[in-house]
Structure 1
Amino acid sequence: MQDTCFSSYRTYHGMARGKEVQDSTMDRLGFSLVDYAVFAAMLGVSVAIGLFQSLRKTPGPSSVDNFFTGGRGFSAVPVGLSLCASFMSAVQVLGVPSEAYLYGFKFLYMCLGQSLNSLITAVFFVPVFYRLKITSSSQYLGLRFGRGMQLLGSLQFIVATLLYTGIVIFAPAVIMNQATGLNMWASLFSSGIICTFYTTVGGMKAVIWTDVFQIVVMLFGFIAIYIQGTVLAGGPARVLEIAYNGSRINFNDFGIDPQQRYSFWSFTVGGTMVWLSMYGANQAQVQRYISCRTERQAQLALLVNQVGLCLIVSSAATCGIVMFALYSTCDPLTAGKISAPDQYMPYMVLDIFRNHPGFPGLFLACAYSGTLSTVSTSINAMAAVTMEDVMKPWLIAASQRKQLLLSKSLSLFYGLGCITMAALSSLLDWGVLQGSFTVMGVVNGPLLGAFVLGMFVPATNKLGVFSGVAVGFCLSLWLAIGSTIYPPTPQVMGVLPTSDSQCLAINSTLNGTAALVQSPSINEDYGQFGLQSIYSISYLYFGALSTSTVMLVGVAVSYITGPTKKDSIGPGLLWWNLEEKKCDASCQNLKEETTVSILPCKKTHEPSSSTLSLTLSLTQINTLLNYVSSLYSHFDQVHDHRSSKN
């Protein structure tokens, strides 16, 4: 039985991603008009939200900052749900159930890694970005290490986001084509164009409120699938019994072998670092933190995000276990009814809802909701990075109207770029979940290391961080390429056995392909070079390895070439130095009444010509100090009033 599972898994890696499913059973499963109507309604609502936000009047004049941050006036709940939806794309909707099906319920440990990530981000990263009042996360690198590092960070983010978004758009388009007959290129271009449209016209407000709608659609889709699948399998007790007998209830997997694809340690160590690279310093998420009305709301948004992440991951993994209970004796991949593990979920939905029109359409809406959310987030973030880090210095004399028009043009440009990358993604032979996490680990992992060095290691200098990022990126890229050319065997990864013992027929063409792919020559080739153990490392560790390498190399080079003196680092750039920036909000309120620089917020008592842009009389200074004192008293009263209410 185990050989059957491994041969089918090899078959998947040996087949072209665009290959049509040849089994007649899949041909009988398809969408009805009701299903397409449900799917179209979801797309229509997404477009309507974008139009509404573009036509809705907001306080104050339209500006680039409002376009990218929504006016910095959001509360925790919508931002938290948007944070959650941003990376809960069709990659997770389709990938997590199939991974749980093949590797077991231990996939729930991913929630632990996500929780650690949310805690670290809320405590260490959000305060820095929020109090600096920046729009682009790469602006921090510019303040800490200079313009060159800022541009490098922006470039790395754009490359990673384009690659990731290409996978997000292309993978579900191919899967839906193979599972439902929906034209692949039509679905690819329609999803890309719709995202580009509502992001371009509505900006961050459209992205956040559309994300809220789409996360609700995703949850309802999973709930419907779980209920129907559990009923057909014989109830929750029967599902657990079958899963236990099939070794899918495997929470006691604490093995430390880094070659094992999933274990407690790969999820908590590797998984935490992958998610931290996506949340800690990723522009797409930082843009949401700073769109909150207060720092406290930004931190609460991460808590809301964590609840949403756990709900979606646990729902998706549970659906994977229900799927195993339904197909424990007739695996669709082994039987030739599907051609790739990522098609498990679409096949199951079409199978269990064949007599319930509308529900398959809800699943398609669920998958594409995740795609639309991720793509819209990526487009808006790339436009913000390009505008703030690259073009802003050249647009000092340009009006807000011209800058806003350019920002929207950038959104349109990157939308078309994402569609192009989706077409090029067909060249990759990764599963959707592995592909997306590998891209984030390889490119964003080194970038995370640069932010950690900047915020927590004062001695780090420019040469040190450049050297660390270069070495870390080369290491992770080498591992990713090596694992793609010489993939680990299913035995090494820990794929659990499946069975086709009660299938009525097995596709003969598929079996013929499997026989060809099972040739052991590939394994023998890379075993000769002694690199098998290195290339077989779980993809979840790529980000952790690259981030650690950046930190080690960066610190070593900095101390060898001359560490940065702590006094030369600007206020607010080190995590423990945030107290100096706390009063910036109060100083912002004074901008309209005086042109005093915000630098007097530092703990100094003797103003100088470098800290005052005007020469103030003693009376004016006394008035200013009284105003600041009354302002702090007012804040304390408001805080006490809110505390008494709570």
Structure 2
Amino acid sequence: MSVAPFVGASFAAADYVVFAFMLAVSAAIGVYYAWTDRALKSSDDFLTGGRRLTALPVSLSLTASFMSAITVLANPAEVYRYGASIVFYGLSYFMSMVVTSEVFLPVFYRLSITSIYEYLELRFSRATRLLGTLLFIVQTILYTGIVIYTPALALNQVTGMDLWSAVISTGVVCTFYCTMGGLKAVVWTDVFQVGVMLAGFLLVIIRCVVLKGGVGLIISDSRQGGRLDIWDFDPKPQKRHTFWTVTFGGTFVWVSIYGINQAQVQRYISCKSITHAKLSLFINLIGLCCILLSSVFAGLCLYSVYKNCDPWTAGIVSAPDQLMPYLVMDILGDYPGLPGLFVAAAYSGSLSTVSSSINALAAVTVEDLIKPHMTVSDKKLSFISKVLSFLYGVLCIGMAGLASLMGGILQATISIFGIIGGPLLGLFSLGIICPFANSKGCNLTASDSFNRTSTGLPAHMSNIATSPAQPDHDRNLLADNWYSLSYLYFSPIGTIITILVGLFISLVTGGWKRKVDSRLTLVKSDTTVFCIFKALKDRLMTGKPDVAQTKENHGNQNPAFCNIELDYMKCNTPT
């Protein structure tokens, strides 16, 4: 049952001006890069920025890509309702950056591929590549539609901002700068939008601190209300958020995003060197933690303000993701322009996510579905890339319209999107870490995992992402109902099963007899630890690095194997 929009303070002219300014700046960045890069005609320039990007803008773009408006609205509501245990995502962020930089990045970077699904063909088969590509396209279109529509609905019901005007305007602007400026425009608009998102959080936090009379009172209220009881080490896998689910399960989720998601990988392989690529991941870690801590403290502010009168249970708002917009209109409604800044922050999250998705969709379509099947000039491919960006933008807007009719299926779709990441992560991990994994083992395992995902979801799947664990006496045994697991465990389960079954089938079908090109697997010289150890060893033994040995180890495989540049050695010795 729907609840009428909040009646009280509403958007003023100044708020619309601030929101429009954010859209105008984003569009202007697209025009700027369309003009400055007008002489560049190749699809590589459009889709990867000519592989000349540096660490800082790429790092901020990585941060923005999956910090969507859902994050801006849902994280504070999560803290308000259940507590601040999601702060442990900071640990999962760190571990996922280490795994990505040490395992996946070196392989993808040295292959100089644009679509990561090209790796699946090089390592396994064309069928595996097409499976990965098609799954990515379908899921990403569904996800971007939800990212556009869901926050627009929440903001509409509280601020009174016209729903479809907001959906269409953000979709059109996003499509415009993606089509005009390519990856460079996407990266630099992400930089701007990260700043807007942080400004929106800080605005709410500062105002709440002033109203409550200091940070100490907010912390005290949150402690008394149990919102700071975060040290839950209960190993039960049915509990929604504990230290183990957030850190262990969250690490798998974020590795599947940063390690093998086209939208993220496409950014760091566009860096001008592997050093910049790895730096971008770790600078991005700072941005992730800033947004996480800001959203957590905003949730504590939300609780402190409404601890004695819950707007959700009182029926003032119809869903938890409307709590933050309600708070903004409640405490900032008398200051024209400030609510507009928060709404701009929320929509900046949508723009950054959707633009990243559009660019990634165009890249995989060109690389996986067009180039392998027809001979097209580079100039024509560049034009096709722009047309595809436009078409995918239109599709995403259309999917937002469809999302408005899907009701409860929205959360199920998001859950499916997360579950598929597990088997895909297992598939790429098999290829990179296990030299004896073969196409038979991986194809059979992947197909089985995806079939189980698409056909085995129960009717109550839509409640997994938001409902706390039910009491034990209401549940069947875990073996009978594994859906009682925390939703954060679906990704590691999918990954681990895919790896174990894939290894077994590969060994049974003679995978250990097959010799694999070393460029396609992880070798010890890919790791930072090896580079540091080798540099120190050479210096201690000879006083200088063994350049000849470095060339022997790396020269025939990759001109940019290692990323550590020391005073006496560069592991990325060119051939």
Q: TM-score, normalised by structure 1?
A: 0.79
For the Cα contact (< 8 Å) 1:483–1:535, is it kept in 2?
A: no
Change (3 A) 1:202 1:347: same
Superposed counterparts of 1:187-198, under 5 Å: 187-198=166-177
1:330 and 2:309 are equivalent in the alignment: yes
Counterpart of 1:448, as a letter, is L
Deviation at 1:486, TM superposition (A): 6.6
> In the alignment, what sits opposite 1:10?
none
SS at match of 1:291: coil
Aligned partner of 2:4 among 22, 30, 40: 22
> In the alignment, what sits opposite 1:148?
127
> In the alignment, what sits opposite 1:403?
381
Change (3 A) 1:349 1:70: same
- Write the distance in 2 (CA, Å) between the matches of 1:272 and 1:118: 9
> In the alignment, what sits opposite 1:119?
98
Superposed counterparts of 1:542-553, under 5 Å: 542-553=490-501
- Write the distance in 2 (CA, Å) between the matches of 1:570 and 1:54: 39
Counterpart of 2:431, as a letter, is G
Counterpart of 1:37, as a letter, is V
1:212 and 2:194 are equivalent in the alignment: no
- Write the distance in 2 (CA, Å) between the matches of 1:265 and 1:479: 26
Aligned partner of 1:157 among 131, 136, 141: 136
For the Cα contact (< 8 Å) 2:409–2:462, is it kept in 1?
A: no
SS at match of 2:190: helix
Change (3 A) 1:491 1:272: closer
Bigger mean CA deviation after superposition, 159-168 or 293-302 = 159-168
Deviation at 1:489, TM superposition (A): 9.4
Deviation at 1:559, TM superposition (A): 1.6
- Write the distance in 1 (CA, Å) between the matches of 2:457 and 2:406: 12
- Write the distance in 2 (CA, Å) between the matches of 1:365 and 1:295: 34
- Write the distance in 1 (CA, Å) between the matches of 2:156 and 2:358: 25
1:446 and 2:423 are equivalent in the alignment: yes
- Write the distance in 2 (CA, Å) between the matches of 1:578 and 1:303: 20
SS at match of 2:108: helix
- Write the distance in 2 (CA, Å) between the matches of 1:636 and 1:355: 53
> In the alignment, what sits opposite 2:343?
364
Aligned partner of 2:263 among 273, 284, 289: 284
- Write the distance in 2 (CA, Å) between the matches of 1:489 and 1:75: 38
Deviation at 1:288, TM superposition (A): 0.5
Change (3 A) 1:466 1:475: same
Deviation at 1:289, TM superposition (A): 1.0
Change (3 A) 1:424 1:549: farther
Change (3 A) 1:490 1:418: closer
> In the alignment, what sits opposite 2:522?
575
Change (3 A) 1:483 1:44: same
> In the alignment, what sits opposite 1:535?
483
Aligned partner of 2:508 among 560, 563, 572: 560
Gaps of 5+ in 2: 527-550
For the Cα contact (< 8 Å) 1:471–1:550, is it kept in 2?
A: no
- Write the distance in 2 (CA, Å) between the matches of 1:462 and 1:258: 33
**What percentage of aligned pairs have identical amino acids?**
44
Deviation at 1:145, TM superposition (A): 0.4
Aligned partner of 1:167 among 143, 146, 150: 146
> In the alignment, what sits opposite 1:239?
218
- Write the distance in 2 (CA, Å) between the matches of 1:46 and 1:604: 42
Q: TM-score, normalised by structure 2?
A: 0.88
SS at match of 1:393: coil
Counterpart of 1:114, as a letter, is Y
Deviation at 1:407, TM superposition (A): 0.8
SS at match of 1:372: helix
> In the alignment, what sits opposite 1:38?
18
Counterpart of 1:309, as a letter, is L
SS at match of 1:227: helix
Q: Deviations over 1:571-626 (max 9, x none)?
A: 310111767xxxxxxxxxxxxxxxxxxxxx88799x9xxxxxxxxxxxxxxxxxxx
Whose Rg is larger?
1
For the Cα contact (< 8 Å) 1:170–1:426, is it kept in 2?
A: yes
> In the alignment, what sits opposite 1:514?
none
Change (3 A) 1:248 1:640: same
**Aligned residues: CA RMSD:** 3.1
Change (3 A) 1:87 1:480: farther
- Write the distance in 2 (CA, Å) between the matches of 1:262 and 1:431: 23
Bigger mean CA deviation after superposition, 435-444 or 359-368 = 435-444
For the Cα contact (< 8 Å) 1:163–1:439, is it kept in 2?
A: no
Superposed counterparts of 1:231-380, under 5 Å: 231-380=210-359
Deviation at 1:91, TM superposition (A): 1.0
Change (3 A) 1:406 1:307: same
SS at match of 1:31: coil
> In the alignment, what sits opposite 1:595?
none
Residue-pair matches, total: 546
Change (3 A) 1:548 1:427: farther
> In the alignment, what sits opposite 2:32?
52
SS at match of 1:336: coil
Gaps of 5+ in 1: 1-14, 495-522, 580-600, 608-630
> In the alignment, what sits opposite 2:445?
468
For the Cα contact (< 8 Å) 1:117–1:276, is it kept in 2?
A: yes
- Write the distance in 2 (CA, Å) between the matches of 1:130 and 1:255: 40
